[in-house]
Amino acid sequence: MSISSWVKKAVAVTVFFCSASFAATTAPDFTLKSSTGENIRLAEQRGQVVMLNFWASWCGPCRQEMPLLDNLNKKYGKMGFVLYGINVDEDTEEANKVLQKIKVNYPILFDPESKLSSLYNVDSMPFSVFIDRKGQVRHIHKGFLPGDDEKYIKQIKELISE
C-alpha cells in the first residue's frame, strides 16, 4: 500500500473520531459567569439550538475558528441558535488578551476550574457540543480543520429545522 493510501486512511479515521453523532443524551446543566459579568444557565436556553465551543488562549485552531463561529452566530442567531464560547484557561486574563485581538459578538463564558469541561468530557481543543431544542446532546466535534464550518452549518440547520 502506498504512503498516500495510508495517509488517506489515517485522515478518514481521524475525521470519523473527531466528529461524532450519537444517540442523544441530556446535556448537563450549568451556570457560568460570562465576559460581561452575567451568569448564564444552560437550562434557560431550552427551546434554542445551543452550541458550546470549548477553547483555550494557547490553542491556535481555536483562534482560527473563532471568526468563523462569529459569522455562524450572526447568520443563525435570529433563527433559534445560541453559541457560547467556553474558555478553559485557569487565568481568565489570558482569554481576555485573545478577545482583545479577536473580536467576537457571541457570549464568552469562563470555566477556569474545568468543572464544565469535566462534565462534558472535553479532551481536546477546540471541542464543540451541539444541543437540540429539548436539551439533548446531538453532535460533538473535536478539533478544527478548515472546512469544518460547513459541517457546523449542516448540523445547525438540521437542529433548527426540527
pLDDT surpasses 50 at 27:
yes
* AA identity, residue 24: A
**pLDDT-derived band at 23, boundaries 50, 70, 90:** low
* Residue 97, CA distances (Å) to 64, 86, 104, 107 in order: 15, 15, 13, 16
Asked if 134 and 62 touch (Cβ cutoff 8 Å), the reply is no
Predicted local confidence at residue 42, as pLDDT: 97
Q: Which residue has the higher pLDDT, 29 or 7?
A: 29
Residues annotated as catalytic are 59, 62
Q: Average of pLDDT values for 77-89?
A: 96
Q: What is the pLDDT of residues 118-138, one digit of tens each?
A: 999 999 999 999 999 999 999
Q: Strands 49-55 and 81-87: what pairing?
A: parallel
Contacts of residue 99, Cβ cutoff 8 Å, sequence gap at least 6 = 35, 108
| Homologous superfamily of the 19-161 domain (CATH) | Glutaredoxin (3.40.30.10)
Residue pointed to by grid coordinates 471568526: 67
Q: Domain ranges in the chain?
A: 19-161
